[in-house]
């Protein structure tokens, strides 16, 4: 054991002659403990909310989506897309056709996006767990049906159990001018029975109505064209590799996007917000660690006789600096490790029992704060605490020890 470490440990554990020095030491340690624990807990909760938001988007979006580079729709070429099915790791493919439409239910109306889907849609998108009323079906014994977002359903006053209730969907005819005497002649329209209501996320709940793709094609005067090809991958398949293979097969006429790329802006926002949270909490940590400066200052003043004795025994200035620097780092390390352990325990208990509840939880899809611990967060918090703590301890030990040496000269 290094001599300076032995002395620093003795200073940390032994009772000081002035009680205020003991109090300041414990305040310093407590400040590091609370700040570290707070960083771990807040970052883990932020991870939880981020994962929740991403999972909600993932439930509606496919693993890989193919769209045209130019225009809104394209003609699927059977030979090419049969080759896509042969790509290793693809489990299902679904075609979809989207367009804006006016939806009427009774005397209410709403502007929404109708999304025509085929029978494979439920194999590509995990929407069924989010059906809150009715059932997920767009066709039943030849009857065409629709599944609506919850915000659209609420705005229209849709009742899926009403046998007489139906959605009247209007889409403008291509190249047709509006006749002021008969405005409806410029629109294609069709009736659908509402079969179910989904509640996923506001962006989806307020925009989409899922309808049979045959119905959408009939309304849009599209015999075979589609808006997108949605692809599901088997578990464990690398999305980037699959995307590269599909892009090579399809050529540059198509945009092929992974789930991450479909909402690239959202992921960047979440990442930026996390860094902002980390930096703000790090400033709080800086304030907490400044207590170490006061604690070490009082300790150096109290131990000035020891410094004089050490100097008389031949101890160098750097040796004495190391004593008080080590004392400061003991405080920082003890507070940091204890804070990380406490943060881990709190997060683990929240994951298992959800004892900290959300206010107005009935308005959310979860009733308690979500938590997701990440190893890199713990490493980042520990590194930040050590760096800030070392800076404070080094500054204090260097300046005050130098002044004490000058005074003893």
pLDDT digits (tens, 9 = 90+) for 136-152: 988 877 788 999 999 99
CA 399, 402, 408, 409 torsion: positive or negative? negative
Task: Give DSSP secondary structure letters for 307-326.
Answer: HHHHHHTT--HHHHHHHHHH
Whether 333 and 209 share a structural domain: no
Residues 204 and 236 in one domain: yes
Instruction: Please indicate, yes or no, whether residues 34 and 177 belong to a single structural domain of this protein.
Output: no
- Using alpha carbons, list the distances in angstroms from residue 110 to 155, 187, 210, 264: 7, 15, 15, 29
Tally of CA atoms within 13 A in the half-sphere of 355 that contains its CB: 8
Verify that 111 and 220 share a domain, yes or no.
yes
pLDDT over 80 (residue 197): yes
* Mean pLDDT computed over 259-279: 82
8 Å CB contact between 233 and 58? no
Question: Could you tell me which residue, 226 or 77, shows the higher pLDDT?
Answer: 226
pTM: 0.72
Two structure tokens written together for 142: 């030849």
Residues written for the chain: 409
**Per-residue pLDDT, 375:** 92
Query: 110-119, 166-175, 313-322: which has the highest mean pLDDT?
Result: 110-119
DSSP for 118-136? -TTHHHHS--GGGEEEE--
Given pLDDT bands bounded at 50, 70 and 90, which one contains residue 32?
confident
Of 261, 284, 314, which marks where a domain is finished? 261
- Alpha-carbon span 44 to 343, nearest angstrom: 9
Of 132 and 178, more confident:
132
Cβ-contact 195, 138 below 8 angstroms? yes
**Which of 261, 278, 308 delimits the end of a domain?**
261
Structural domain total, the chain: 2
191 pLDDT more than 70? yes
Q: What is the pLDDT of residues 331-361, one digit of tens each?
A: 888 889 999 999 999 999 999 888 888 776 5
Q: Are residues 132 and 255 in the same domain?
A: yes
407: confidence class by pLDDT, cuts 50, 70, 90: low
Is-contact 326 358, C-beta < 8 A?
A: no
Distance CA(111)–CA(208), nearest Å, equals 10
256 Cβ neighbours under 8 A, 6+ residues apart? 64, 65, 66, 243, 246, 247, 250
Q: Are residues 143 and 206 in the same domain?
A: yes
Asked if residues 322 and 390 have their Cβ atoms less than 8 Å apart, the reply is no
pLDDT tens digits, one per residue of 363-376 = 566 778 889 999 99
Q: Which residue has the tokens 């004392």?
A: 327
> What is the rounded average pLDDT of the residues 230-240?
87
Helix 19-60 and helix 264-289: axis angle, to 10°? 170
Do residue 157 and residue 23 come from a single domain?
no
31-55 core/surface letters (b: 16 or more CB in 10 A; e: else) = bbbbbbbbbbbbbbbbbbbbbebbe
Q: What is the mean pLDDT of residues 229-248?
A: 87
Host H or E run for residue 102: strand 90-105
Alpha helices by DSSP H, 178-263: 202-205, 213-220, 239-250, 259-262
- Percent with pLDDT over 90 in the chain: 23
- Same domain, yes or no, for 217 and 280? no
Tokens 């008969």 -> residue? 182
| Whether residue 213 sits in one domain with residue 106 | yes
CB atoms within 10 A of CB 224: 10
Residues in a beta bridge with 229: 66, 95
From residue 382, alpha-carbon distances to 22, 261, 333, 334, 396 in Å are 25, 32, 9, 11, 21
Listed residue (5, 3, 13, 21) closest to 296, CA to CA: 21
Lowest mean pLDDT among 24-33, 87-96, 246-255, 331-340: 24-33
pLDDT-based confidence at residue 184 (cuts at 50, 70, 90): low
Instruction: Choose among 385, 383, 364: nearest CA to 48.
Output: 364
| pLDDT at residue 222 is higher than 60 | yes
Question: Which run of H or E residues covers position 231?
Answer: strand 228-233
pLDDT one-digit tens code per residue, 33-70: 888 998 999 999 888 888 887 777 777 888 899 998 88
Q: Are 272 and 46 in contact (CB under 8 A)?
A: no
Task: Label the pairing between strands 187-198 and 143-149.
Answer: parallel
pLDDT attached to residue 73: 87
Statement: residue 180 has pLDDT above 90: no
Q: Name the band, by pLDDT with cuts 50, 70 and 90, for residue 216.
A: very high
**Does one domain contain both 128 and 256?**
yes
Question: How many degrees, rounded to 5, is the angle at CA 232 between CA 228 and CA 235?
Answer: 160
17 pLDDT above the threshold of 60: no
Paired tokens of 156: 């229209």
- Overall average pLDDT of the 318-329 stretch: 75
pLDDT band with cut points at 50, 70 and 90 for residue 393: confident
43 and 70 assigned to the same domain: no
- Domain boundary among the residues 215, 246, 261 is at 261
Residues 289 and 343 in one domain: yes
Residue 249: pLDDT band with limits 50, 70, 90: confident
Q: Give residue 157's domain range.
A: 63-261
Segments in 88-212 forming alpha helices (H): 121-124, 150-156, 202-205
């Amino acid at each position: 054991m290094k001599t300076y470490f032995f002395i620093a440990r003795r200073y940390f554990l032994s009772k000081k002659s002035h009680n205020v020095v003991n109090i300041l030491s414990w305040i310093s340690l407590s400040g590091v403990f609370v700040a570290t624990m707070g960083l771990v807990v807040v970052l883990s909760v932020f991870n939880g909310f981020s994962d929740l938001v991403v999972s909600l988007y993932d439930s509606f979006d496919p693993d890989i989506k193919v769209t045209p580079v130019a225009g809104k729709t394209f003609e699927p070429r059977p030979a090419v897309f049969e080759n896509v099915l042969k790509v290793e790791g693809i489990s299902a493919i679904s075609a979809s056709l989207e367009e804006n439409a006016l939806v009427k239910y009774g005397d209410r109306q709403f502007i929404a996006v109708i999304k025509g889907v085929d029978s494979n849609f439920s194999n590509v998108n995990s929407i069924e767990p989010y059906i809150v009323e009715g059932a997920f079906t767009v066709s039943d014994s030849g009857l065409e049906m629709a599944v609506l977002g919850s915000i659209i359903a609420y705005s229209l006053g849709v009742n899926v159990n009403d046998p007489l209730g139906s959605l009247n969907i209007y889409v403008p005819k291509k190249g047709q001018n509006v006749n002021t005497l008969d405005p409806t002649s410029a629109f294609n329209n069709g009736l659908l029975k509402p079969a179910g209501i989904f509640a996923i996320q506001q962006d989806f709940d307020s925009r989409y109505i899922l309808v049979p793709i045959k119905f959408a094609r009939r309304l849009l005067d599209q015999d075979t064209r589609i808006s997108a090809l949605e692809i599901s991958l088997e578990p464990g398949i690398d999305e980037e590799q699959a995307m590269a293979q599909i892009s090579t097969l399809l050529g540059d006429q198509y945009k092929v996007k992974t789930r991450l790329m479909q909402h690239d802006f959202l992921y960047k926002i979440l990442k930026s917000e996390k860094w902002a949270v980390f930096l703000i909490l790090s400033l709080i940590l800086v304030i907490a660690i400044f207590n170490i400066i006061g604690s070490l200052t009082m300790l150096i003043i109290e131990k000035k006789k020891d410094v004089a004795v050490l100097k008389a025994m031949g101890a160098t200035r750097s040796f004495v600096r190391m004593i008080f620097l080590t004392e400061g780092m003991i405080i920082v390390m003890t507070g940091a490790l204890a804070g990380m352990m406490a943060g881990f325990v709190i997060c683990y208990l929240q994951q298992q029992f959800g004892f900290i509840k959300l206010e107005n939880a009935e308005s959310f899809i979860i009733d308690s704060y979500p938590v997701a611990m990440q190893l890199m967060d713990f490493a980042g918090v520990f590194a930040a605490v050590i760096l800030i703590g070392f800076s404070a301890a080094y500054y204090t030990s260097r300046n005050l020890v130098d002044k004490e040496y000058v005074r003893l000269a």
